[in-house]
Chains A and B, each alone.
Chain A
C-alpha cells in the first residue's frame, strides 16, 4: 500500500502544509520508502491483542478520575495576556482584513 502524489497533496492539506510540486514528488518517494519498511508489520499475528494495554502489566499506577484545582486558571486571563481589552485577548490583525498590519 503506497501513496500517490495526489494522496500526498491531500495529506498536506489535512496537515495544514503547502509543499511545492518539487517537494510533493520528493515526499511521495520518501513516504513510499518509509511505508515499504513499515509494511513488515503485516507479518505480525496480532489477532490475540486488543490494542496497547499497559495496565495489563500491573506496573502503571492509576489514580481515581477526580477533578482537582486547575493550577493554570489562577487569576484572570488578562493577568497573563500581553494585551487584554474589555475581556478580550488582543492579537495582531490579519493584513487581509483591512490592508494594514497593526494590532487592533
Chain B
C-alpha cells in the first residue's frame, strides 16, 4: 500500500497551479478504508469522512488568531497545512463527526461546537479524514480500553499500538496520514508514538488550547501531535499552538517558530541522562538503543552528563491519585441527562444516573472514577490527594534543579518495553500503569516532551524521549531533528 507523502511535499504539490487541494485527502481516505477492510483490520479509526470535501474547508468563526501565531504559512505561500490529510483523536470535538471518546456512553454523540485545535488545523488548510480510536476517555496505555474494540499495531498486528492515542499513532505509522492529533495526560501521545515507530510531541502545558478537548485530568491534559517525522509533527504543532481566550489555562505567549533551530545541530548542548530512567530493570534492548542514540549526540558535539531526578519513582503513584481524582470530577457530567445515551426504564433521577453510568462506562473508567472518588472522600483527602500534590511539586522541583545546573535537555527512553502482545496486561492494572513510568513526569511538571524512533528490536520500534524546560519546544525540536538525521545517516 502506498504511503502518504510528508506535509511539505503535499503543501508544495497543492500550492502549484491547478493542484487539486483534496487529492491527498482522498488518497488517505482510500488507504484508511483499505486498512479497515483487511483480514486483520487495523481499527485505527472510529469514524471516517464520507469524502475529503466533508473533512475540509476553512474554519469560520471569530478569534482563531491567538496572537503571534504563524499557522497561516508564509506571506505569499500556501497555508501551512494546505491539502494535508490529518487524523483527529476522538476526544476532540469536530463538526461532521461523532465525538465519542471511544465510550458507549457517548455513542453517536455529535458536538454542537468544535475544538480550537480542530478549527485551527482547518483554517491552516488541513483536511480531517476521520476520528481515531483511543482508550475510553483517554484512560489507558494500549487502546485496548476502547468501547469499540482495540486498535492493532501496524508493525505487528498481534501487538498493541500503545495508548491512549493508539489510533492516531497507528494511522500515521501505517502511512495513512502524515500527521495526527492526540492528547497526552500521562504519555498518551509519546508512548504510542514510541510503540508504533513514529514521532510524538507533547507541548508545554498551556501552549495549546484545550477548548473542545473532552477533559480527563484538566491540570495534566495537553493536546499533542504525531507525525512520521519530527518535521511533520512540528508543522502540525505550529498550526494549532497559541493563546485561546476560550481556555483560561492557555498561555498568552507568542508562538515561536518550532523549526527555528533546524540546522543548528547539538554542538554545545548539554544533554542530561537521568540515572533513574536507565535503571537495571529497563529492557536491555531499549537501554542499548537509547544509549547508542546518546552516543550519536555526543559524537555530534553534545555534552552528555548523568543527572539525578530522585523523585521519579514516585511519579506513577502520584499520577494515579491525581489523574483519577480529576477524572472523577470531570466525568460526573456524563449522567444520561446532558450528553449521549441514557439507560432506558429507570424509575428515578438517581437511577438514571447510576444505570447510565454503570452501563455506559467500561471497566477501566469505572476503576479510575472509583479510585478518584476514594482519594477525594472525607477522611482520605489529605492522606492521598494532598500528599500526591506535594509529591507532584517535588517531581517538578527535580526538573527545575537540573535546568538550573545548566542542563539544556534530558534524554530518556519513552517506554520501558517495545509494543507488548494484545491482552498481556489487561488483567493487571498496575503493570499497565507502569507503561507510563517515563512519560508521566513531564505531565506532572508541565514541561514539553518529544518521542522519536531510535531503532528497533526484533522488528518492534523503540522510542527515545527528549524533555525540555517549559516553553523550550524549539530547542527540543531542533535537537530531535539533529538526532533523527544522525540516526538516518547511521542506517
Contact A51 B393 (CB under 8 A): yes
New A-B contacts (7) at CB < 8 Å, excluding given A16-B332, A34-B430, A44-B390 = A34-B367, A38-B384, A39-B317, A41-B317, A44-B391, A61-B252, A92-B342
Among B63, B328, B392, point to the contact of A52 (Cβ < 8 A): B392
Give CA–CA (A57, B394) in the complex, Å: 12
By beta carbon, the residue of chain A nearest B375 is A38
Among B335, B358, B388, B430, point to the contact of A18 (Cβ < 8 A): B358
A90 on the B face (CB < 8 A) = no
B147 on the A face (CB < 8 A) = no
Among A40, A54, A91, A96, point to the contact of B396 (Cβ < 8 A): A54
By beta carbon, the residue of chain A nearest B310 is A44
Q: A59-B470, A60-B446, A96-B347 are in contact. Are A40 and B313 (CB under 8 A)?
A: yes
A19 on the B face (CB < 8 A) = yes
A39 / chain B contacts, CB cutoff of 8 Å: 317
Among A44, A61, A94, point to the contact of B352 (Cβ < 8 A): A94
Among A15, A50, A63, A96, point to the contact of B346 (Cβ < 8 A): A96
B358 / chain A contacts, CB cutoff of 8 Å: 17-19
The size of the chain B interface, using a CB distance under 8 A, is 64
CB distance from A84 to the nearest CB of B (A): 14
Sampled A-B contacts (12; CB under 8 Å): A17-B369, A34-B320, A37-B316, A37-B320, A37-B433, A41-B314, A44-B391, A46-B387, A60-B446, A80-B112, A94-B346, A96-B348
Give CA–CA (A17, B316) in the complex, Å: 26
Interface of chain A residues 1 through 19 with chain B (CB within 8 A) = 1, 3, 7-8, 11-12, 14-19
B189 on the A face (CB < 8 A) = no
CB distance from B464 to the nearest CB of A (A): 24
By beta carbon, the residue of chain A nearest B359 is A18
Interface of chain B residues 235 through 289 with chain A (CB within 8 A) = 245-246, 251-253
Give CA–CA (A31, B430) in the complex, Å: 10
Among A12, A34, A71, point to the contact of B429 (Cβ < 8 A): A34
B381 / chain A contacts, CB cutoff of 8 Å: none
A92 / chain B contacts, CB cutoff of 8 Å: 342
Contact B377 A11 (CB under 8 A): yes
Q: A17-B354, A41-B314 are in contact. Are A31 and B370 (CB under 8 A)?
A: yes
Contact B390 A49 (CB under 8 A): yes
Contact B393 A31 (CB under 8 A): no
CB distance from B36 to the nearest CB of A (A): 32
Give CA–CA (A67, B348) in the complex, Å: 39
A83 on the B face (CB < 8 A) = no
Contact A60 B470 (CB under 8 A): yes
> Contact string, B401-445, partner A, CB cutoff 8 A, digits 1/0?
000000000000000000000000000011001000000000000
B449 on the A face (CB < 8 A) = no
Of A8, A30, A68, most B-chain CB atoms within 10 Å: A30
Of B332, B367, B469, most A-chain CB atoms within 10 Å: B367
Contact B391 A59 (CB under 8 A): no
Among A7, A18, A51, point to the contact of B354 (Cβ < 8 A): A18
Give CA–CA (A92, B356) in the complex, Å: 15
By beta carbon, the residue of chain B nearest A54 is B446
Give CA–CA (A102, B248) in the complex, Å: 39
A16 / chain B contacts, CB cutoff of 8 Å: 332, 335, 350, 353-354, 357
